[in-house]
Homo-oligomer: A and B are copies of this chain.
Amino acid sequence: MDVDAAVFDVFGTLTDWRSSVTEALSDVGGRAGLYADWPTVVDTWRRRYRPALKKVLGGELSWRPLDALHRLTLDEALAEHGLDDLGEAERDALVQAWHRLRPWPDAPPGLELLHRTSVVTATLSNGGVGLLARLTKQAGLRFDCLLSAELARSYKPDPRVYRMAADLLGVEPQRLLMVACHPDDLEAAAKAGLRTAYIPRPEWGPAAGRVDPPAVVDLVVDDVIDLAHALGAPGDTRP
């Protein structure tokens, strides 16, 4: 595939948010003397994410940074699970847990391979610029550039976010590849004129069912290393 740049979803596609945030929540909750089925609380928290985005994109909520949206949905999730006793400082700490997520094992070496090709790599995430800078640095995810929906004061899947990425990188949309594990992200990118690559990820845990790729997609790859090879990285470099 011949493209000038590739932009990546981060939560789910490159990082295992579920195990990382579960660890933070069980730690913070445990120290507060609370007990719950923490993975389920995290799933509830994450499930409240897309409806919250929709409210922002629909104008029902004003735009705010992802951290503020995470705080709103955390409060809802804790209430739903009877965990109202968790304090303010603990809630703020949990929002910060999304700044320190574990990468899927193939993501760091795959991005290093891509960095050595001529393809410019960037994030294109609903996470803010500061979150992305800390997360990618700590997780060893090497990018040539960080782009966030924050720069358009919007959220994916708003088409303006994908067009902004092409504009800022100075590439034609049809020479820009969106990489994600979420069919709706890729469908919106394709509608904005981008090419698309799907990576399946067990983001909801090992027991959850496999997500099918979107009906129309330019490329399906196993992981980021596989993607790097498809975009021109030498083929004999899988660690």
Q: Spell out A's residues near B (CB within 8 Å).
A: 5, 115, 120, 122, 128-134, 136-137, 144-147, 150-151, 168-171
Contact = CB atoms under 8 A, between A and B. Distances in A.
A145 B171 contact: no
Contacts of A136: 144
Nearest to A5: B133
Q: What is the count of identical protomers in the complex?
A: 2
SS of A interface (majority): helix
Contacts of A132: 145
B168 A150 contact: yes
Given A150-B168, A151-B151, A168-B150, A137 B144 contact: yes
Contact of A130 (B128, B151, B171): B171
A115 B129 contact: no
Contacts of A115: 137
Given A145-B146, A146-B145, A150-B168, A133 B122 contact: yes
12 contacts: A5-B133, A120-B134, A128-B168, A129-B145, A129-B168, A130-B169, A130-B170, A130-B171, A131-B170, A136-B144, A137-B144, A145-B146
B133 A145 contact: yes
Nearest to A115: B137
A79 B64 CA distance: 49
Given A146-B145, A146-B146, A151-B151, A169 B129 contact: yes
